[in-house]
Structure 1
């Protein structure tokens, strides 16, 4: 029997402007992991990868079962908030991961990307092209992208990114709630 897998990527802005919010992100990740793990079928199919970015993106945690979701470490201050490189890196990562899952005979649901940032890129004129490649409807593996605004977030930029949903911490929505809703939406039969 083929295993059903829901790939979920948590993409965290770890630039210097976000240093005060790492605790909030970690709390949200812990609560999200606990909520999903409380539902055995959801826990069995959910795989989570974590990407951190500032000037350049880094894979902090490869796609693994949600039970292995780690805490983020408080980064040293990093210069830049390069959205474009992050979206390009994310597309390459998703492509590689989905290919590997399919090679293992897994039935792969459409990936979810949870993009957490204050929405203030340092590459404001170039990131949209990289984002368009990530969200290209002709790409069969394109993810559903949900944006989460941390701190005093730029709603306009996050609205352009979160085409499958935008949540704002400044509106009182916790990280875990936004993450949970994002994954739950994907888990419904109409999104298979």
Structure 2
């Protein structure tokens, strides 16, 4: 039987790591950058994973910025530093991810890749400070938009579990009481990495079901 035109395409999972870099994270800025550097090293040292889980890193505070554009992390020589300051504007993060998906997915298709539905890992330590974030999230995950991402959320610090449950579609994790922000950040990245390793092996998105140091909370918006 003849193979179809897409059989030989290399699958890829566009992955967005969206990290809270607001003022409340200032005491943990060094830890945040060290954690991102570790994420980079792990992926760059695992070509099978980094070729499958192409990644973009976005930091948000009063606005949102692309730290690393969508790429194979093996191609990044060094991870840029993130500076923490400003408010916690979820809306800015969701709007930027949506706009980047509309740039990144066509670009990956043009490279001849079989592009899976994107995944967004959202890490935050605080409550949203600006209005409009709920509408922005609904637009991001609107089923009518073919490219809407899977969303997995990790919360720690002062963020409330009720908010986390609203900004996830597949899984939401809330740090165990007493967990320091730096510990929680590292544990979230470990869970993220485990998910991407499993996804690369199966060539399909594998949603984390547990995260060390976190408890699972119900997801309000389940797709």
User: How many Å separate the matches in 1 of 2:50 and 2:170?
Assistant: 22
1:77 corresponds to which of 57, 64, 85: 85
User: How many Å separate the matches in 2 of 1:102 and 1:131?
Assistant: 25
Number of paired residues? 190
Residue-by-residue CA offset, 1:88-142 (whole Å, 9 max, x unaligned) = 111010111001111121111121111111141112x421111011111121111
User: How many Å separate the matches in 2 of 1:10 and 1:69?
Assistant: 18
What is the TM-score when the length of structure 1 is the normalising length? 0.84
Structure 1 runs not aligned, ≥5 long? none
**Alignment of 1:163 onto 2:163:** no
Alignment CA distance shift 1:21-1:96 (3 Å): same
Measure how far apart 1:185 and its partner are.
5.8
1:110 corresponds to which of 105, 113, 117: 117
Alignment CA distance shift 1:145-1:186 (3 Å): farther
* 1:1-192 matches, cutoff 5 A: 1-67=8-74, 68=76, 70-71=78-79, 73-75=81-83, 77-78=85-86, 80-123=87-130, 125-170=131-176, 174-184=187-197, 186-187=199-200, 188=202, 191=205
- Bigger radius of gyration, 1 or 2? 2
2:58, 2:66 within 8 Å by CA — same for their partners in 1?
A: yes
Q: Larger relative CO (CA 8 A, sep 6+): 1 or 2?
A: 1
What is the TM-score when the length of structure 2 is the normalising length? 0.74
2:40, 2:79 within 8 Å by CA — same for their partners in 1?
A: no
